[in-house]
Structure 1
Amino acid sequence: MSVSLKQRLRGDLALTLARTFTARAIAALGALGLMVVVGRLHGPAGVGVLALAQSFLLGAGLLSKSGMDNALMRYVGQDPDSHEVMRYFAWAVKRAMLSAFPVAFLLLLLRGYFESLFSSAGLAEMLIGVSLAVPFYVFGYLLSGFFKGVRKSATACLMENGAIALYAGGILWVGMQFAPEISESLLMVGYAYLTAAILVAFQGGLQLWLWCRKQTWYLHNAEGDVVSRSQAVEKKQFFVTSRAFFAATFAGFMQNVLAVMLAGWLLISADLGLFKTSQQIGMLIAFILLVINAIFPPRFASLYHNGNMKGLSRLARLGAALGAVVAMPLVLVCLFFPVWVLGWFGSGFEGAAPLLRIIAVAQLVNVSTGSVGFLLNMTGHERLMRNIALTCNALGLGAFFVLISMLGAVGAAMALAFVLVCQNLVALFFVWRRLGIWTLPGPNVFALLGIRPAPLS
């Protein structure tokens, strides 16, 4: 590869990182901003109700998209110039909507039962808008997976939950200024979420149409496409891969949905609000990893597909080092000034300080190991990553039950920290064993212990 080509590629990656960093930062701040608005309107108890409603939305979304957003990222990312990419997208949308609408209806129908089950006053009201948002939410995530595959990671970031929360928070903030008596209802939080999900889905659909109009295959009816139909991914293979990704995603379902629901069942709404606030601030620490995960995985797939293991290793290490450097200042602020950080949410959140410290340290480990999960997923080891994630998150659910029963909200933070650290360190081990790649900044502990990577098949 010539020096000029290398410089051009580096420049392209830097520009993509800058754009995606900005987009992801906006989305992360939007998600945090929604918590701030709800916290100031309804206090920790209102944030606890929002946490439960969001967990229902996330759970419905994960079940409906069934890993197809990641399958899109993988197969579209292998050859984004092929006209076949729209076939993959159409497969994913049809399959996802067959699940999304029934799930949304069921959630709407059972909202009163869920409010009673979790003893969370106002949850049924909020779930009206949230349940209707499910199909639009799912469509946005499919668009996100597609745009990641075609190397438009900044656009992809604005199709996900952070952007929806950004719009929802903005809608509620405007309501606070002009119609405070209406915006103070939890019912309006759900409707704000619905409106935001519709806006994001419409915006993404428009951007997809504009992208298609620029493609050679669109302008010339797929003439001159470099990939023949015989080389395209078969429909069966696409859904087999998506199911493998879904199994790995189910681990996220356990961590972000079942764990929050378990916490909501064992904790009062105010304590759940403290936990969720700390978790959301922790996500701000980890947002650089979300940026990296929006850009690097399609490149991982391409480098591995072309047999460029040195390039794959360099890119993986670059992502981990970048994540650790960017996350460290935020971690230090959370460790030494947690009360100041929590004060942005209004009064009553100071009790979350020890929770925030615990989660901040765990997120530092999460970021510093880099994209180990996507390294396995994008190199044909998605089943291995699925098993790692399922095992660690199953143990984590047990930790949630035991530690919350013993320590309350602090126990919830400790259980979340356990899941983050355990899953990433186990994945780091297998990235070294299967791919011979060490991502964690610092000396290779596994090599020092005499553990060698297995020969590549």
Structure 2
Amino acid sequence: MEKAIEFLLNRFPALRNRLDEHMLEVINGAAVALVLKVLGAGLTFLFNLVLARALGAEGAGLYFLALTVTTIATVFGRMGLDNTLLRFTAASASVNDWSAVKSVYMKGMKLALIASFLSAVMVFVFAPVLTDKVFQKPELIVPMRWMSLAVVPMTFVILHAQVLKGLKRIRDSFIVFGVGVPAISLTALLLLGGRYGVKGAVWAYASGAIIAGLSGVILWYVATPQLRKVSTSLRTNDLLKSSMPLFWVASLNTMINWMATFALGVWGTKEEVGLFSMASRTAMLTSLILTSVNSISAPKFAELYKKKDMTALGATARNTAKLMTLISSPLLFLFLIAPQWVMGLFGGEFRKGGILLSILAIGQFVNVATGSVGNLLMMSGNEKLMRNNVALVAVMSILLSVVLVPIYGSLGAVIATAVCLSLQNLIAAYMVKSSLGINTLSWR
């Protein structure tokens, strides 16, 4: 991939002259990430396709409700440590402070193990209350309890993906999270899904999480042989001081992303949950380039901010926003002109979700066009600004979901989701401009 990019830059020297060393590093890393991300997205899409065709809209709805609860539990298990570990690892590794890297890793993983185990126990114990009293779907209790087994391994999958990013091991990071989980889950689903229904789909996901989590631990130790000879130095309080604001950011972000699904579980039907969930995951393909660029831009932002090179930081942020917008445009166009055809790939009963896909895709496009503004805030020590932004949008998400979902069902859910996603990133872009003096929306 690097050779291909080098070939293009040699063919177009004017383009090379417009890119500094930091942007070239972002492009090289993002290209690798994009290839793996596309592979992972394709596997995830196939997983959802097999899931939808095997279980139908109602069965998929039950699966995604169980996944929603597990995802929320995983957020509590991470304690906001994912972005903290990324930030500290990237900043410390850039100056070869391996003692700090080891301290962050060891203390972060110990805290996450305790918190994620407690979260998994809570899901298992309170599953009857959630399924009977909240969702009023008693048939959900068995899938939810099996899904609780994925809380601890998924916590470790996400955290190891982040620390590997901090070392700029982009390939390893995406193998663990972007490719490993969907690849293993898809294989297991093909073997179990049709025979065991929703329970089989849950087993497939849990299997992917467990195997990918173990892979993440192995890849970390392979990547860091130098850590065996250094001692730890970072205090736990220093780690928690950064992670607590980010914990609230992650928690509130999860509320924003999953509030509509949760509301549909309470006021909607299993079919509406299935339609909305499939449309939401398909629309997220629009932001595929965003997650690919973020994988390398986040540690680069942390590095440049630590070095106080604000000129390079601003240029890198603006150029990545341009790059992401241009690449995402064709997919958005497809979701706007042929949404029924795209949703019909999951089965005839999903075609009615075409309008849901179009609305969600617009929200995702705004997310891409504003650039990596969330990462800019978090990697520059402005965790509290990001927390305040997300808190405001989370309140709006609750209000919109409570008002719109009971009346309009899945259509109300997508409107609430798209509005909140767009607003969150526009506010973050304003915060980046006011606090760092960087305008990611400027194409000049």
Distance 1:159 1:252 in 2: 22
Task: Please say if 1:129 is aligned against 2:178.
Answer: no
Task: Please say if 1:82 is aligned against 2:82.
Answer: no
Structure 2 residue matching 1:110: 3-state secondary structure: helix
Could you tell me whether the CA contact under 8 Å between 1:61 and 1:138 is conserved in 2?
Answer: yes
Report the alpha carbon displacement of residue 54 of structure 1 after superposing the two structures with TM.
1.3
Task: Name the structure 1 match of 2:168.
Answer: 151
Distance 2:179 2:141 in 1: 23
Give the TM-score, by structure 1 length.
0.88
Distance 1:188 1:304 in 2: 46
Task: Name the structure 2 match of 1:330.
Answer: 331
Q: How does 1:45-124 map onto structure 2 within 5 Å?
A: 45-80=58-93, 81-84=96-99, 85-116=101-132, 117-120=134-137, 122-124=139-141
Distance 1:163 1:88 in 2: 24
Task: Name the structure 2 match of 1:195.
Answer: 207
Task: Name the structure 1 match of 2:190.
Answer: 173
Distance 1:342 1:199 in 2: 30
Report the alpha carbon displacement of residue 79 of structure 1 after superposing the two structures with TM.
2.0
Could you tell me whether the CA contact under 8 Å between 2:23 and 2:319 is conserved in 1?
Answer: no
For structure 2, the 5+ residue unaligned runs are 1-15
Could you tell me whether the CA contact under 8 Å between 1:125 and 1:190 is conserved in 2?
Answer: no
Distance 1:400 1:90 in 2: 39
1:212 pairs with one of 214, 218, 224: 224
Task: Name the structure 2 match of 1:262.
Answer: 263
Report the alpha carbon displacement of residue 243 of structure 1 after superposing the two structures with TM.
0.5
- Tell me which amino acid in the other structure corresponds to 1:403: L
Could you tell me whether the CA contact under 8 Å between 2:321 and 2:369 is conserved in 1?
Answer: yes
Report the alpha carbon displacement of residue 168 of structure 1 after superposing the two structures with TM.
1.2
What CA RMSD, in Å, does the superposition of the two structures yield over aligned residues? 2.1
Could you tell me whether the CA contact under 8 Å between 2:246 and 2:387 is conserved in 1?
Answer: yes
Report the alpha carbon displacement of residue 121 of structure 1 after superposing the two structures with TM.
5.7
Could you tell me whether the CA contact under 8 Å between 1:122 and 1:186 is conserved in 2?
Answer: no
Q: 1:431 to 1:8 in 2, by over 3 A?
A: closer
Q: How many residues align?
A: 424
Task: Please say if 1:142 is aligned against 2:159.
Answer: yes
- Tell me which amino acid in the other structure corresponds to 2:218: L
Render the CA deviation track for 1:88-132: whole Å, top value 9, x for unaligned. 111111111112112212212232332223133642222233101
Task: Name the structure 1 match of 2:37.
Answer: 24
Render the CA deviation track for 1:8-65: whole Å, top value 9, x for unaligned. 6655433311211122222223332222111101111122112211111111110011
Q: 1:399 to 1:7 in 2, by over 3 A?
A: closer
Distance 2:71 2:230 in 1: 37
Task: Name the structure 2 match of 1:301.
Answer: 302
Report the alpha carbon displacement of residue 167 of structure 1 after superposing the two structures with TM.
2.0
Distance 1:245 1:330 in 2: 31
Task: Name the structure 2 match of 1:413.
Answer: 414
Render the CA deviation track for 1:250-272: whole Å, top value 9, x for unaligned. 22121133432122111101011
- Tell me which amino acid in the other structure corresponds to 1:106: M
Could you tell me whether the CA contact under 8 Å between 1:278 and 1:359 is conserved in 2?
Answer: yes
- Tell me which amino acid in the other structure corresponds to 1:54: L
Q: How does 1:212-361 map onto structure 2 within 5 Å?
A: 212-213=224-225, 215=226, 218=228, 221-222=229-230, 233-361=234-362
Report the alpha carbon displacement of residue 163 of structure 1 after superposing the two structures with TM.
4.0
Report the alpha carbon displacement of residue 326 of structure 1 after superposing the two structures with TM.
1.4
- Tell me which amino acid in the other structure corresponds to 1:146: V
Distance 2:443 2:307 in 1: 28
Report the alpha carbon displacement of residue 162 of structure 1 after superposing the two structures with TM.
6.6
Could you tell me whether the CA contact under 8 Å between 2:181 and 2:208 is conserved in 1?
Answer: yes
Report the alpha carbon displacement of residue 296 of structure 1 after superposing the two structures with TM.
0.7
Q: 1:11 to 1:365 in 2, by over 3 A?
A: closer
Distance 1:165 1:260 in 2: 21
Q: How does 1:386-401 map onto structure 2 within 5 Å?
A: 386-401=387-402
Distance 2:141 2:414 in 1: 26
Give the TM-score, by structure 2 length.
0.90
Distance 1:308 1:233 in 2: 25
Could you tell me whether the CA contact under 8 Å between 1:29 and 1:284 is conserved in 2?
Answer: no
More helix by share: 2
Q: 1:86 to 1:122 in 2, by over 3 A?
A: farther
Distance 2:380 2:22 in 1: 22
Distance 2:114 2:230 in 1: 29
Q: Report the more deviating stretch, 415-424 or 255-264.
A: 255-264
Distance 1:175 1:202 in 2: 22
Render the CA deviation track for 1:347-372: whole Å, top value 9, x for unaligned. 20011111111111111111000111
Structure 1 residue matching 2:199: 3-state secondary structure: helix
Distance 2:410 2:387 in 1: 28
Distance 1:253 1:161 in 2: 19
Task: State the identity %.
Answer: 27
Could you tell me whether the CA contact under 8 Å between 1:75 and 1:233 is conserved in 2?
Answer: no
